[in-house]
Amino acid sequence: MSTFPELPDIARLWIYTTADPLSEAEQSEVLERLDGFMEGWTSHNRPVQAQATIRDDRFVILAATVADGDVSGCGIDASVNAVDEVAGDLGLEWTSPLDVLYRDADGNVRSVSRADFRRLVSEDRVDASTRVFDPSITTLGALRDGDFEQPAGAAWHARVFQIPTAA
């Protein structure tokens, strides 16, 4: 089943990564609070159609679209403020946007600095088959196409961290 089936591929997407996994109670609270925000979310007095979900206990994903246009800067600011308010109220911390996100051998999502990720590559603890995440994608279509999580050998990580790929 498609993520956010009511929204088009061109819907804007924002992905926030928590520093620690969220409990079921925290996930419920985050989604309930975001649902409350999204009910009244507007962009230049136009209603924003939006949905939120949480993946892998770490990724808060918000998708939104406006009929005949895009979410304005003020609308985006309102959503960032809403997400940050929820995080602050619940004591949640976000990872640094410079961190590298990947799945370890046990399938857990990990967040490490770029230097640490480079070290993991040099120690052969990360290779071209390691699943990595790209929370900088900006459209729902990219999420649906698998651009968010993919093998490191197929992602920008291979080039930046010189990860050997199969010939």
DSSP output for 77-104: HHHHHHHHHHHHHHT--BPPTTSEEEE-
Residue predicted with more confidence, 45 or 17: 17
CB 129 within 8 A of CB 152: yes
The answer to whether residues 99 and 111 touch, using CB atoms and an 8 Å cutoff, is yes
* Cβ–Cβ under 8 Å, residues 63 and 50: yes
Q: What is the percentage of the chain residues whose pLDDT exceeds 70?
A: 98
Give the pLDDT confidence of 2-44 residue by residue, as tens digits: 689 999 999 999 999 999 999 999 999 999 999 999 999 999 8
pLDDT in the model for residue 164: 84
Q: pLDDT tens, 72-124?
A: 899 999 999 999 999 999 999 999 999 999 999 999 999 999 999 999 999 99
- Neighbouring residues of 161: CB distance < 8 A, sequence distance ≥ 6: 114, 117, 118, 121, 126, 152
| Greatest pairwise CA separation for the chain in angstroms | 54
Q: What is the pLDDT of residue 48?
A: 95
Q: Which structure tokens are listed for 71?
A: 């979410």
pLDDT value of position 166: 62
* 26 within 8 A of 91, measured Cβ to Cβ: no
Q: Which residues, 6+ apart, have CB-to-CB distance to 90 below 8 Å?
A: 26, 29, 30
Mean pLDDT of 127-136: 96
**Predicted confidence band of residue 1 (pLDDT cuts 50, 70, 90):** very low
pLDDT classification of 138: cutoffs 50, 70, 90 = very high
User: Could you tell me the pLDDT band of residue 68, with boundaries at 50, 70 and 90?
Assistant: confident
Q: Per DSSP, which regions of the chain are E strands? A: 12-17, 42-43, 46-55, 59-66, 100-103, 109-112, 131-133, 149-151
- Stretch 117-141: mean pLDDT: 96
Specify the residue for token string 């990595």. 132
CB neighbours of residue 115 within 10 Å = 9
What distance in Å separates the CA atoms of residue 133 and residue 29, rounded to the nearest whole number? 24
Domains and CATH numbers, the chain: 12-90 (3.30.310), 100-160 (no CATH)
